Structure 1
């Protein structure tokens, strides 16, 4: 339910926005989810450039959160302060500083037939009075509607994912690669679900949940693993960020081999070992296979990416041989507007300059960010899961189809081709394996283990990622 109307508040006319979300979970579960550190990141729309640079503890009145955000080319800060609190029932916040003239937001939680109803009420006013409402009112109403649509989707799905493992105790997890594209969503997802997440960082720790390590110099304190149930390693020098010089290729391999080896050997030496070691990998291990259907039983391919992935996975052998359940995440193209393949595509596509790359016949094995992090949780919490898993959606598409679908979602043409020879000139050696070749990969072992995908079709995943629903 969405209701937008004008009301008089404290002697002034403001816009009142109301939104209702129905969640299949007890009220205490939904309330606890909101009190945790990761909730803000999971409630932030995936297409918005927002970062919490200071945050309150819980929902107590007086606590403030400072948000760094960008609206178009304009960078700004939003400072929000918690005001009212009725434990388990209501909390509210107001804007102290930000783009609005006024902003009050109240969250009310109630129960109905075993479901939790979240009633969000926002009262706001724009700067410049009537002029601001005249020229910015419609845009802001659409922005807020999309914001709460996205929040409802994330909240409903996240809690459902966590409730499916409510019969199991939460875990104490050590994670590296926290600031990366996947880590920046996986950590808040696990935290909001009740797990205790400790982050390994390569700088001086500045927060209570951070711990220092230096894999380049083999510096890792074994005591950091005390009481740890699981270790998730996502780190490594970016593969597609820069041209592949000899030095860059060495850094790609060494950063993965050295960090995974250090973690695996340290865990293997412990008397009380973690239960599970989850390590990032990639479907590049299969090489270019044309139209061949690939699953986890398929043979490995050839080339730099294949060799890198094989080294990456074998570096965890010490943990596996020590009896630690070891999982390799063979990830496909993870969809996020904030980075990766989709992030790089958005600008030209929004400008109407998107289209097929090379022949457009190469396969793209994609997965939504929400399904990727949920799959990691599934593998973490399912003791029977072990070994390599393809983290890709069940329906890969050809690159030409991907471009056409993205253009349709953005309501932009998508027929401007980028010839293969131009791609090779622009990107050098990485052009062929990353852009002009592909794999038709299927997540067979993940499906066999009982995992259920939220996004089986590319268009649905893109619409949720970009806030471009058909009702818009």
Structure 2
């Protein structure tokens, strides 16, 4: 098979497949952590196994007779699995346009490979059955590396498929217990990580939900039935709105904090909240409450200090963002509306957010502590946050600021250890503070290296029960870990309430 054109086509197939796996399957789509893609993962696993066999055969063997016929069946099986995979993908998820184009190119290129290979296989099949050792120099080396790579991803996809049943989400209707039904709820930021789950919980419990989104394409991810609008002008004075949940805002930790980015972070929150104020003023039936987002960044960077709702802030950009957002929300209380401001910690879930971005690096052994590892991380599991939001909507006596964090914050070193343990991986790397600061500037210093040790004092005083108060057991639960963690004796340091 000393055909440079054929080997060039095989090389193109390898690199397009690598791009598809890393950019789409592991990157934008994160298939390994989507329980809905169980069958797709199995198809990928089997197909990659066949690819590993094909690449090794091309690299070092010339199959004759029955072995050539067997190779032909493997190539045909790969075509059948790929067609099945295309149907499954279209039925279960919306593919990015880049993935669709890449799939088309992979299919055309594979067809060209088969066209060049067919006469060769026909000739080999007519020879006496034998496997002839061959070598094509660096072509063989490249194919061997490719075989090893697809074999690794074959095992990963098959294991991820087996894990899918263990990472399925809980019944969303249970998250909205205690909220009188039916409520008419307006949700801004309803297509985001938190908003999608909140909408799912409300709709599943029989409530009527209107979602404001800037991009209608994101509405495909929402539970239905739901009303979707792109402009608050669609809310008429006669519309009934019983509650507003305001979660909209430009992401704060997805890039450098340039002046333009800082302005966008603040304006997106303040202007949306002011627009909601205008809506409330014209509504004939005023909502009973506004539940508005904020963040624990309101407190600034406070080191070891335990922070409750009564604690004073320290200067920081995150404080400026949250302070202006909260001030805009509190203005709405002048309309005789109960306002609750949620100071939200790091929201953890496997399908989006900060934790989701860490799963693949940790799974491949790239996990590690940031800076000294001594900085406190105040976190909350996503479903617990949805329950906090519902609790704030239902409790008519609750108003003002509310810390939405789990009762046991952890240090970054413990977060790293617990996540690595849940994924059965080592985490021995260390990312020095100077490197993170050099790469990401103030964003790293305030969100990754800064220490904020928050206590949900008001929630606990009111008897709110967290389903996930401790980080380690929570990570094992939501990542589908196969082992149970025994309680540790070092929890006394973490208790802050």
Whether TM exceeds 0.5 here: the answer is yes
Give the distance between the partners of 2:40 and 2:370, measured in 1 at CA.
30
Alignment of 1:307-386 (within 5 A): 307-386=320-399
CA distance in structure 2 between the aligned counterparts of 1:437 and 1:373, rounded to whole angstroms: 26
| Structure 1: distance between partners of 2:447 and 2:43 | 30
Is 1:49 the equivalent of 2:8? Answer: no
| Shift in alpha-carbon separation, 1:424–1:225, aligned structure 2, 3 A | farther
Distance change (3 Å), C-alpha of 1:371 and 1:46: farther
How many residue pairs match? The answer is 351
Cα displacement (A) at 1:263: 0.2
SS of the residue aligned with 2:388?
helix
Instruction: Identify the match of residue 71 of structure 1 among 41, 64, 71.
Output: 41
Deviation string, structure 1 residues 125-159 (Cα, Å, up to 9, x no partner) = xxxxxxxxxxx9999997677444444x713xx55
Gaps of 5+ in 2: 1-29, 46-82, 89-152, 486-497
1:451 match? 464
Q: Is the 8 A contact 1:47 1:465 kept in 2?
A: no
SS in 2 for 1:278: strand
Q: Does 1:177 align with 2:189?
A: yes
Residue in structure 2 matched with residue 128 of structure 1 by the alignment:
none
The question of 1:433 aligning with 2:449 is answered no
Say whether the 8 Å CA contact 2:362–2:425 is kept in structure 1. Answer: yes
Contact 1:265 1:319 in 2 (8 A): no
Q: Aligned residue for 2:198?
A: 186
Which of 227, 233, 255 is matched with 1:210 structurally? Answer: 227
Instruction: Provide the residue aligned with 2:170 in structure 1.
Output: 154
Question: Which of the residues 456, 461, 466 maps onto 2:474?
Answer: 461
Length-normalised TM-score, structure 2: 0.64
SS in 2 for 1:359: coil
Moved more, 179-188 or 136-145: 136-145
- What is the root-mean-square deviation of aligned Cα atoms in Å? 3.4
Counterpart CA distance in 2 for 1:150 and 1:383 is 34
Q: Cα deviations across residues 66-98 of structure 1 (Å, max 9, x unaligned)?
A: x899639959xxxxxxxxxxxxxxxxxxxxx96
Measure, in 2, the Cα distance between the counterparts of 1:139 and 1:350.
10
TM-score (norm 1): 0.67
Residue 201 of structure 1 corresponds to 213
The whole-number CA distance in structure 2 between the counterparts of 1:305 and 1:161 is 29
Deviation at 1:333, TM superposition (A): 0.5
Deviation at 1:303, TM superposition (A): 1.3
| 1:410-466 CA-partner distances (Å, limit 9, x unpaired) | 111122110001101221221100111121001111112221100011011111221
Per-residue CA distance 1:23-67 (angstroms, 9 max, x = gap): xxxxxxxxxxxxxxxxxxxxxx9973367xxxxxxxxxxxxxxx8
Aligned residues of 1:265 and 1:318 also touching (Cα < 8 A): no
Distance in 1 (CA, whole Å) between partners of 2:353 and 2:216 is 27
Equivalent position of 2:418 in the other structure: 405
CA distance in 2, matches of 1:394, 1:267: 34
Task: Judge conservation of contact 1:172–1:227 (CA < 8 Å) in 2.
Answer: yes
Matched residue of 1:223: which SS?
coil
Contact 2:308–2:457 (8 Å) recurs in 1: yes
User: Which region of structure 1 is more displaced relative to structure 2, 224-233 or 376-385?
Assistant: 224-233
Q: Deviations over 1:290-347 (max 9, x none)?
A: 1000011111221111011000011113321111111111110001223322122222
Are the structure 2 counterparts of residues 401 and 346 from structure 1 closer, same or farther at C-alpha, using a change threshold of 3 Å? same
- Alpha-carbon separation, structure 2, partners of 1:244 and 1:213: 27
Structure 1 counterpart SS, 2:447: helix
Of Structure 1 and Structure 2, the greater strand share is in 1
Evaluate the alpha carbon distance shift between residue 229 and residue 245 of structure 1 in structure 2; reply closer, same or farther with a 3 A threshold: same
Asked if the contact 2:370/2:433 (under 8 Å) is kept, the reply is yes
Residue in structure 2 matched with residue 273 of structure 1 by the alignment:
286
Runs (5+) with no aligned partner, structure 1: 1-44, 52-66, 76-96, 103-135
Query: What is the rounded CA distance, in whole Å, between the counterparts of 2:253 and 2:346 in structure 1?
Result: 12
Which one has the largest radius of gyration? 2
Matches of 2:297 and 2:427 in 1, distance apart? 26
CA gap of 1:464–1:99, structure 2 versus 1, over 3 A, is farther
- Structure-2 separation of matches of 1:443 and 1:276: 21
Question: Could you say what secondary structure the match of 1:199 adopts?
Answer: strand
The secondary structure found in structure 1 opposite 2:431 is coil
Can you list the C-alpha shifts for 1:176-214, whole angstroms capped at 9, x where unaligned?
Answer: 112211112111112112211111122469887334344
2: distance between equivalents of 1:440 and 1:46? Answer: 33
SS in 2 for 1:334: strand
